[in-house]
Amino acid sequence: MAPKEFEHEMRKAAFDQNHASFRSLNQQMWQIPLISMTLTGGLWFGVSRVEDFLIFQLALLFLAATGNGALFIIILRMRFVMQQHLDWLEKTYPAGYVSAKGKQWYSKPFLVRSLFQFMLCLAACLSLFLLIVTAWTSRGEVFGTMPRDPALTYYEQHAASLADGYETLSLETAHPALLTIINRQFENRPLAVLDVGAGTGRDASWFAAKGHRIVAVEPSEAMQTIGRRLHPSPKIEWRQDSLPMLAETRASGETFDLIMLSAVWMHVKPDERQPALKTLASLLKPGGQIYLTLRIGPSEPTRGIYRVSVEALQDQLAAASLKAEKLDEQSDLLGRNNIRWVAMSISASEN
């Protein structure tokens, strides 16, 4: 083969190789935004679904931040290599090279790469911001220092978002077993009702509308404020009181036909549950009932949630001269797969 023919073949082989490499790099370049959206969206969704596992949340947010940061650097490297191919093509075959160097802001070189990198940087920064905020708001669990009353602190800080979740459910949906107690035990007569841990007053409002006398006890001032706004019924008497002693309520000298504790018992510290049961028993009228729901699931220290069980409650009730009947069991209405709820009816033991 003549030297000129050999050189031509070599230049052709180099052109084909560079052309194939450029096309491969270009295809990968356009896949990066899809990778980023899938990575970020999937990890952020994962964070929203594992609210009970702080360390896992932090790990997912860290992965989202570092993943987008890595993709930012990858684009820089890929675009540099692609530019080398373009420079070689312009030098080797100027007649076939298209520069596309526009003058408007939207047609200038590196615009697409810059926009990709801006979005990647934004996603990384947002993930990092969420990581810092999540770690800071949960610093007690992260560093092992918890507020004196973590449950009250949590409800004060998250009252608005929690209220949205509570108000989406009706009492009939959340507590079908409670209606059974009212119909079977009290035959729909007017009752004196104590709602301990009344939250937004959703259930208290239902009792007030049915003509019952209702006292709504809620230790969180923020939750009470929302409750008074959403359910401004004059028939609801709000009190800022809390277990285990319910000092203000006991001082009033009142007793009640029905005492309701919905999603409350897991917030009572284990060593305070026996005194709390004695307090509740002292507030019951003869023949009265306590309706209590047990959250069966993992503990959450930052929310002041401790483990409970039907067996442990039964033992505590026996020591307080109380007896219990299991009414029903249902999955979590907010969609948390690792949590279920058991409804119990508690009354005085017959000696």
Cα separation, 340 vs 48, whole angstroms: 19
Confidence at residue 250, expressed as pLDDT on a 0 to 100 scale: 95
Cα separation, 48 vs 142, whole angstroms: 18
Is the per-residue pLDDT at 143 higher than 60?
no
Domain 152-348 class, CATH top level: alpha beta
Confidence at residue 68, expressed as pLDDT on a 0 to 100 scale: 92
Residues in a beta bridge with 290: 259, 346
Mean pLDDT is lowest, of 39-43, 45-49, 139-143, 157-161, for 139-143
Confidence at residue 51, expressed as pLDDT on a 0 to 100 scale: 63
Q: Taking all residues of the chain, what is their mean pLDDT, rounded to a whole number?
A: 87
Cα separation, 89 vs 7, whole angstroms: 17
| Position 39, amino acid | L
Cα separation, 135 vs 148, whole angstroms: 19
Is the per-residue pLDDT at 112 higher than 90?
no
Q: What strand order describes the sheet that includes 256-261?
A: 236-239, 213-217, 192-196, 256-261, 284-296, 340-348, 322-331
Respond yes or no on whether the N-terminal peptide bond of residue 219 is cis (omega within 30° of 0): no
Contact indicator for 72, 120 with CB cutoff of 8 Å: yes
Confidence at residue 347, expressed as pLDDT on a 0 to 100 scale: 93
Category of 328 on φ-ψ map: left (φ > 0), alpha (ψ -120 to 50) or beta:
beta
Q: Where are the domains of the chain?
A: 3-143, 152-348
The pLDDT-based confidence of 213 (bands split at 50, 70, 90) is very high
Mean pLDDT on 233-241: 95
Is the per-residue pLDDT at 1 higher than 70?
no
Is the per-residue pLDDT at 100 higher than 90?
no
Confidence at residue 102, expressed as pLDDT on a 0 to 100 scale: 72
Confidence at residue 277, expressed as pLDDT on a 0 to 100 scale: 95
Contact indicator for 259, 279 with CB cutoff of 8 Å: no
Is the per-residue pLDDT at 145 higher than 60?
no
The pLDDT-based confidence of 141 (bands split at 50, 70, 90) is low
Contact indicator for 89, 17 with CB cutoff of 8 Å: no
Confidence at residue 351, expressed as pLDDT on a 0 to 100 scale: 55
Confidence at residue 6, expressed as pLDDT on a 0 to 100 scale: 67
Mean pLDDT on 183-189: 83
Quick one: what percent of the chain has pLDDT higher than 90? 50
Q: Residue 2: phi, psi to the nearest 5?
A: -70, 150
Contact indicator for 309, 277 with CB cutoff of 8 Å: no
DSSP element (H, E) containing 244: none
Cα separation, 229 vs 231, whole angstroms: 6
Please state, in angstroms and as integers, the Cα–Cα distance from residue 276 to each residue in 90, 163, 293, 344, following that order: 83, 26, 15, 16
Is the per-residue pLDDT at 142 higher than 60?
no
- Helix 3-49 crosses helix 111-137 at what angle (to 10 degrees)? 30
Half-sphere exposure of 183 (CA within 13 A, CB side): 6
